Amino acid sequence: MKKNFVAAAVAAIMSVGVAAPVFAETPPNMLVIANRIDDIKTLDPGESFEFAGSDVSRNVYEKLVNFDPLDLDAGYQPELAESWEISEDGKTITFTIAEGHVFSSGNPVTAKDAEFSLRRAVLLDKTPSFILTQFGLTADNVEETIKATDDRTLVLTLDKPYALSFVLNCLTSTIGGIVDMASAMENEVDGDMGNDWLRTNTVGSGPYKVVEWKPNESVLMDLNPNFHGDKPAMERVIVQHIQESATQRLQLERGDIDVARNLSPEDVAGLADVEGVKVVDELRGRLMYFSANQKKELMADPKVIEALKYATDYAGMSDSFLKGQYTVHQAFLPLTFLGALEEKPYSYDMDAAKAALAESGFPDCGPIKISVRDAQERMDIAQSLQNTWGQLGCDVELIVGTGAQTLDRYRAREHDIYLGAWGPDYPDPNTNAGTFAVNPDNSDEAGATGLLAWRNAWGIPEMSEKTLAAVVENDTEKRKQMYLDLQREHQKTSPFGIMFQQIEQNGMGASVENFVAGGATTEVSYWVITK
Amino acid sequence: MTTANLRDWLLSDAPTSRRQARFASWYKGWLTLRSNTLAMVGLIVLALIILAAIFAPVLATHDPYAQDLGQRLLGAGHSGHLLGTDSLGRDIYSRLLYGARISIYIVLLVAMVAPLVGLIVGTVSGYAGGWGDVVLMRITDIFLAFPRLILALAFVAALGAGIENAVLAISLTAWPPYARIARAETLTIRNSDYIHAIRLQGAGPFRIVTRHIWPLCISSLVIRVTLDMAGIILTAAALGFLGLGAQPPSPEWGAMISEGRKYILDYWWVATFPGLAIFAISLAFNLLGDGLRDMLDPKEDTA
Amino acid sequence: MTDMTNGEGRRGPSFAPWLSKTLTTLVTVAVTLLGLLFVTFMIGRVMPIDPVLAVIGERATQAQYDATYLELGLDKPLLVQFGIYVSDVLQGDLGKSIRTGQQVTTDIARVFPATLELATLGTLIGVAIGVPLGVLAAVKRGSWIDQVARLVGLVGYSMPIFWLGLVGLLLFYGILGWVAGPGRLGIFYQGIVEPITGMLLVDAALRGEWTVFRDAFSHIILPAALLGYYSLAYISRMTRSFMLEQLSAEYVITARVKGLSEWQVIWGHAFRNIRIQLITVIALAYANLLEGSVLTEIIFAWPGIGSYITTSLLANDMNSVLGGTIVIGSIFVGINILSDLLYRFFDPRAK
């Protein structure tokens, strides 16, 4: 017995030396993805607010309204709600819940579950709760404002007549995910509405359910047997945490994985000639920008900011280390959003930069500290800024830190220049306008750390009013024009130097079809994928 | 004095002065070292690296900080870039030369700070004895029980990334072994007749420790430091690799590997040359340290 | 021989020192571990990373910030926080990780076996090559074998492990395809083997899943060989110097004179006598690998305790860092005491 055991072990080891891994390709009904998923802290849709977490959530939880992955441009579509009506005064929305949707637990989806899920998101008061509370839904009034009048009817009552598209767009975000009330409450601990349990378990009516989540390692999803839609071709989805681009590329080349989601421009170029592999580009909503703290004398001089904007080598960067992965974009709304402005008033122009600087109060520039987190592409951008701004005569120093460190300084308004990224929280223009162009009270006491304008001490009472007016404008054309005007003004006067918009380049096996990362508005959808 | 005379004087069996005896023992040590080929290779490589660091401005073909996004990731020998260019189009050869300065700077600083801390803690502990000894040795044990790199990481994370803080962090993790050595030496010296005699002459503990015990501890510490040099370089490079050492655009070798790591598949040289540089300098230190150990301690130290 | 009272009287005094020795050791260990916790705890508190932000992220409001601040107990005085933490630890509660949202004990139970497996295999490789190499170098002192052994060791000491790992990965996985890539297991073998010990090779073998075993082995062999190389450098050097000491001893000369074969002299006599010293060295090398595998784990995406502590540290997830440090620190102290005991037990001179 023991001898056989040893013999088998030896045989197994010996065979490794010569043979590559056993499978040459992944099984046909299984999708294997390499991605960076170390940001997942929770799977609870009322709490989850990270990229990789939202990817999971979209495939597990259905929402009242949602995007069709194969036609993202069509905007929100019915999902759990088959129809909705808005009242005369524009403050009350009545949803009719569709029949036939069933949670992975076997319970049918009713309006009660929707009521529970939305109330719960407000009551838990986790980071993403602002997406719902901005409509005047609060812990004190949810009993009245979010109400299931019967099993198929849900009524939302808002404090203002917001643009309907704004409200519904918000409901498509992760926090709009509908959970099974019965399962959540069975696992309630100390009145947490199942929060602790839902951090590591899922119970939604979407196409998949999470079987296992190992933090920083992998997420394993299997089909939800009760999913009401067509049975997805991929019966099992595994997302493996692979940090390095080079590793993801090698795994893709060897057929160990189907999709590689974090390829560097060099590795994308390296895949160009590889047989059986393709790269699919998709415009995402993430912006890369620098911003200047208006508390600092040097940074508060508009001519200095203008000089810095001209002394930035946009094309140089997007043609070299950002090649294929970022496109030059200079307005706060990402392309494909309603009202996104395509104009690019700034280009790398040293003469214009020097002229602007000469007109400023600091013709010799001065010391500038760029606060940046230790991620490769940001470090590369920071070093390029250091180089070109240095040619203006500025003495640029990089202050590198971890994400939390850098963010801490930013929120405390202690930076000179912050180099960062911003991704939309929900697919409505207000998600960015409401942070880049709103800051009615610039005092330290206001502590509006959620607003980028406040973090940069940019007090803009007038622009704030214009921005807030746009969310209650129900005429889409007018609303669009309002955002275009806002962005033009913002480009000229703001201390924000918006530089790039992200293009996600996903490498995948040639046979993989319908892999949609989610565009600028939503997340990945595994259920439509075939291979 | 001719060379031959000098040699005779140094190798004389009957030195006429203390100075002659000391020089003679150094010279004999040198002869032993010179006969050790590997140690000599180490010494020569080290000398070359130090010279390269000193004369970096003369030897460099480019400004190590000058970027050229149009000339990025060029291979060795392309357009006058001896070892190619990195991801921002900077000349790798010139950066390596300047990087040598950083490595040598770090090693020298740590080699001064850590043994000094160890010396103070060890001699005080050994000389004081009693509770003071117990407390100090307990603290030493606590630092010894720490995972080394993690402790250094924690210190840098707490103090902020940068060369000086990296030096401080490495020193903080490196001192306990020196403290133990110094304590052991102190314990053997403490009760010697020589120290008793000095004490009878009225010397205070401070004077005894600094004037009489320290000089005797130094030789064993020096051997240990030489052997540790390579380890210091590797730790500093590891911190740089993890983004906690020297900050960009500084051409620290570990940080250069970290930057080049992304390109390893298609542009292997970007990470490989700094790797070879680190390997060369730490191997040189190891070869030299090994030879020194043979020379000063022929019976083979077991620690 | 003599009467009972005499015997009793003799045992008394020899028993007491043993007891007090044990007590001293226990107190020493407790103080060391407490100190370890204290230093780590204080580092976490002075670290310019806000743990609250690590929990709630960029978009949180001030009110949410304040709520989390209270929830983490950060409003209490430092020493009180430390006291609470230690009393929780004594009850087996290491707290919750900020980064993974799970209990630190759960996290450690997941990551520690990975490191243990890697370090064990690494040490086995180091011993299997390092000991014979050291013995050979000592026997053929000054020969080319000795020089090669020395050079192999020195090169091991001089190579930046993160660089060697990168190059190894590129060569053996990327170009030659002889071994599997980073991680512990190919993706489609995930979840096949129900964990028993958490060490994949052991679990797969116990369950008889030989294809999984094979895959796990092809993942672990490269990082383990890399770590093995480092402990080989240390082990072979120590073996050589222990052997040299023995080979110059009088009894070896006597044995040779008596006409014993060279093999018997080396392995039968000299090597037998260095066993205990060697075990101490190997134990130390093992402890060093357990704590020193941080960089290897990062390069090979090995989900072990080293990379767990490091990533937690950089997010100021102090519960995880403290938990990991206790585990590693205890093992280090434990192995030291154990090798000390072994030495005392087997070595006649120490008795």
Fold of C105-350: MetI-like fold (1.10.3720)
Is the model's pLDDT at C10 over the cut of 50? no
* Contact between C53 and A199 using a beta-carbon 8 Å cutoff: no
Helix (H) / strand (E) element for B208: namely none
Could you report the per-residue pLDDT of B41-66, keeping only the tens digit for each?
999 999 999 999 999 999 989 999 88
What is the pLDDT averaged over residues B248-252?
87
For A121, A453, B137, C139, the CA distances from A435, given in Å and listed in that order, are 22, 6, 56, 75
φ, ψ for residue A299, nearest 5 deg: -75, -20
| Top-confidence range, A352-361, B173-182, C141-150 | A352-361
What pLDDT, on a 0 to 100 scale, did the predictor assign at position A305?
96
Please give the model's pTM, rounded to 2 decimal places. 0.84
What pLDDT, on a 0 to 100 scale, did the predictor assign at position B158?
80
Query: Tokens 């005499």 correspond to what residue?
Result: C6
Distance of CA A365 to the CA centre of its chain: 36
3-state secondary structure of A365: coil
Chain B neighbors (3+ CB pairs < 8 Å): A, C
* Contact between B138 and C309 using a beta-carbon 8 Å cutoff: no
Chain C neighbors (3+ CB pairs < 8 Å): A, B
What is the pLDDT averaged over residues B205-215?
85
Q: Does B91 contact A at CB distance below 8 Å?
A: no
> What single string gives the DSSP state of each residue in A14-82?
HHHHH---S-SS--TTEEEEEE--TT-----TTT--SHHHHHHHHHH---SEEE-TT-GGG-EEESSEE
Q: How far is B262 from chain A (nearest CA, A)?
A: 7
What is the pLDDT averaged over residues C8-20?
57
Residues 295 through 334 of chain A touching chain C, CB cutoff 8 Å: none
3-state secondary structure of A395: strand
The percent of residues in chain B predicted with pLDDT above 70, rounded, is 96
The percent of residues in chain A predicted with pLDDT above 90, rounded, is 76
Sign of CA dihedral A32, A38, A44, A48: negative
Write the CATH number for B281.
1.10.3720.10
Is the model's pLDDT at A382 over the cut of 90? yes
Is the model's pLDDT at C4 over the cut of 60? no
Domain boundaries along the sequence of chain C: 2-90, 105-350
In chain B, the residue whose alpha carbon lies closest to the alpha carbon of C335 is B145
What pLDDT, on a 0 to 100 scale, did the predictor assign at position A306?
96
List the single residue in A16, A23, A247 with the smallest CB-CB distance to C217.
A16
- Decide if A64 contacts A169 (C-beta within 8 A): no
Residues 53 through 82 of chain B touching chain A, CB cutoff 8 Å: 65, 67, 69-70, 72-73
CA angle (B70 as vertex; B69, B75 as ends), nearest 5? 100
* Contact between A41 and C101 using a beta-carbon 8 Å cutoff: yes
Could you report the per-residue pLDDT of C15-70, keeping only the tens digit for each?
567 778 788 888 888 888 888 888 888 887 777 777 787 777 777 777 888 888 88
List the single residue in C36, C163, C174 with the smallest CB-CB distance to B146.
C36
In chain A, the residue whose alpha carbon lies closest to the alpha carbon of B242 is A374
* Contact between B153 and C150 using a beta-carbon 8 Å cutoff: no
Chain A neighbors (3+ CB pairs < 8 Å): B, C
B37 domain-assigned: no
Q: How far is A294 from chain B (nearest CA, A)?
A: 25
Q: Looking at beta carbons, which residues of chain B come within 8 Å of C31?
A: 138
In chain A, the residue whose alpha carbon lies closest to the alpha carbon of B267 is A266
What is the pLDDT averaged over residues A142-151?
95
What is the pLDDT averaged over residues A445-454?
88
| Top-confidence range, A244-248, A402-406, A469-473, C189-193 | A469-473
What is the pLDDT averaged over residues C177-199?
80
* Contact between B254 and C155 using a beta-carbon 8 Å cutoff: no
> What single string gives the DSSP state of each residue in C79-147?
HHHHHHHHHHHHTT---B-TTTSSBHHHHHHHHHHHHHHHHHHHHHHHHHHHHHHHHHHHHTTTSHHHH
In chain C, the residue whose alpha carbon lies closest to the alpha carbon of A450 is C59
Could you report the per-residue pLDDT of A237-287, keeping only the tens digit for each?
999 888 888 888 988 988 889 999 999 998 999 998 888 999 999 999 999
What pLDDT, on a 0 to 100 scale, did the predictor assign at position A148?
95
Preferred mutation among B37, B38, B142, B290 to probe C, highest tally of C CBs within 10 A = B142
CB pairs under 8 A between A and B: 63
In chain B, the residue whose alpha carbon lies closest to the alpha carbon of C153 is B286
What is the pLDDT averaged over residues A23-35?
82
B290 domain-assigned: yes
Could you report the per-residue pLDDT of C307-349, keeping only the tens digit for each?
898 888 877 788 888 888 888 888 888 887 887 777 777 665 5
In chain C, the residue whose alpha carbon lies closest to the alpha carbon of A422 is C58
List the single residue in A20, A32, A242 with the smallest CB-CB distance to C177.
A20
Compute the distance between CA of residue B215 and CA of residue A175 in angstroms, rounded to an integer.
Answer: 69
Could you report the per-residue pLDDT of C142-155, keeping only the tens digit for each?
888 888 888 888 88
What pLDDT, on a 0 to 100 scale, did the predictor assign at position B302?
38
Could you report the per-residue pLDDT of A303-343, keeping only the tens digit for each?
999 999 999 999 999 999 999 999 999 999 999 999 999 99
The percent of residues in chain B predicted with pLDDT above 90, rounded, is 27
What is the pLDDT averaged over residues C90-109?
87
Closest CA to A425 of A180, A139, A216, A134: A134
* Contact between A267 and B265 using a beta-carbon 8 Å cutoff: yes
* Contact between A383 and B247 using a beta-carbon 8 Å cutoff: no
What is the pLDDT averaged over residues A31-51?
90
Q: Which domains does chain A have, with CATH numbers?
A: 1-35+208-275 (3.40.190.10), 40-206 (3.90.76.10), 283-504 (3.10.105.10)
What pLDDT, on a 0 to 100 scale, did the predictor assign at position A22?
42
What pLDDT, on a 0 to 100 scale, did the predictor assign at position A316?
93
What pLDDT, on a 0 to 100 scale, did the predictor assign at position B143?
85
What pLDDT, on a 0 to 100 scale, did the predictor assign at position A132?
95
B68 domain-assigned: no
What pLDDT, on a 0 to 100 scale, did the predictor assign at position B2?
66
Is the model's pLDDT at B204 over the cut of 80? yes
Higher pLDDT, B122 or B129: B122
Is the model's pLDDT at B297 over the cut of 80? no
List the single residue in A15, A126, A254 with the smallest CB-CB distance to C214.
A15
* Contact between B147 and C241 using a beta-carbon 8 Å cutoff: no
List the single residue in B271, B286, B301 with the smallest CB-CB distance to C154.
B286
Q: Does C155 contact B at CB distance below 8 Å?
A: yes
List the single residue in A384, A398, A402 with the smallest CB-CB distance to B88.
A384
CA angle (C36 as vertex; C35, C41 as ends), nearest 5? 95
What pLDDT, on a 0 to 100 scale, did the predictor assign at position C14?
54
Q: How far is C307 from chain A (nearest CA, A)?
A: 10
Amino acid at A216: N
- B196: domain range? 46-62+80-296
Is the model's pLDDT at B153 over the cut of 90? no
Beta bridge partner(s), residue A278:
A508
What pLDDT, on a 0 to 100 scale, did the predictor assign at position C15?
58
The percent of residues in chain A predicted with pLDDT above 70, rounded, is 95
List the single residue in A5, A130, A240 with the smallest CB-CB distance to C61.
A130
User: How would residue C13 be classed by pLDDT, with cut points 50, 70 and 90?
Assistant: very low
Q: How far is A266 from chain B (nearest CA, A)?
A: 7
In chain A, the residue whose alpha carbon lies closest to the alpha carbon of B260 is A376
What is the pLDDT averaged over residues A150-159?
95
B19 domain-assigned: no
Q: Does B207 contact A at CB distance below 8 Å?
A: no
User: How would residue A19 be classed by pLDDT, with cut points 50, 70 and 90?
Assistant: very low
Is the model's pLDDT at A233 over the cut of 90? yes
Q: Looking at beta carbons, which residues of chain B come within 8 Å of C157?
A: 230-231, 282, 286
Higher pLDDT, A20 or C233: C233
List the single residue in B149, B160, B290 with the smallest CB-CB distance to C292.
B149
What is the pLDDT averaged over residues B209-238?
85
Give how many domains chain B has, as a whole number.
1
* Contact between C303 and A214 using a beta-carbon 8 Å cutoff: yes
List the single residue in B88, B160, B243 with the smallest CB-CB distance to A383.
B88
What pLDDT, on a 0 to 100 scale, did the predictor assign at position C325?
84
User: How would residue A11 be classed by pLDDT, with cut points 50, 70 and 90?
Assistant: low
B31 domain-assigned: no
**Contacts (Cβ under 8 Å, ≥6 apart) of B199:** B208
* Contact between B265 and A316 using a beta-carbon 8 Å cutoff: no
Sign of CA dihedral C18, C20, C26, C31: negative
* Contact between C325 and B150 using a beta-carbon 8 Å cutoff: yes
What pLDDT, on a 0 to 100 scale, did the predictor assign at position C192?
75
For chain B, give the number of residues. 303
What is the pLDDT averaged over residues C255-275?
83
Preferred mutation among C214, C222, C300 to probe A, highest tally of A CBs within 10 A = C214
Q: How far is B268 from chain C (nearest CA, A)?
A: 9
In a 13 Å sphere around the CA of B270, the CA atoms on its Cβ side amount to 22
What pLDDT, on a 0 to 100 scale, did the predictor assign at position A342?
94
Is the model's pLDDT at C267 over the cut of 50? yes
What is the pLDDT averaged over residues B137-160?
82
Closest CA to A522 of A201, A341, A283: A283
Average pLDDT value over all residues in chain A: 91
What pLDDT, on a 0 to 100 scale, did the predictor assign at position A180?
96
List the single residue in C62, C208, C214 with the smallest CB-CB distance to A449.
C62
Q: Looking at beta carbons, which residues of chain C come within 8 Å of A13?
A: 214, 217
What is the pLDDT averaged over residues C271-283?
85
| Top-confidence range, A98-102, B22-26, C194-198, C250-254 | A98-102
Compute the distance between CA of residue A19 and CA of residue A36 in angstroms, rounded to an integer.
Answer: 29
What is the pLDDT averaged over residues A134-138?
94
What pLDDT, on a 0 to 100 scale, did the predictor assign at position C41?
85
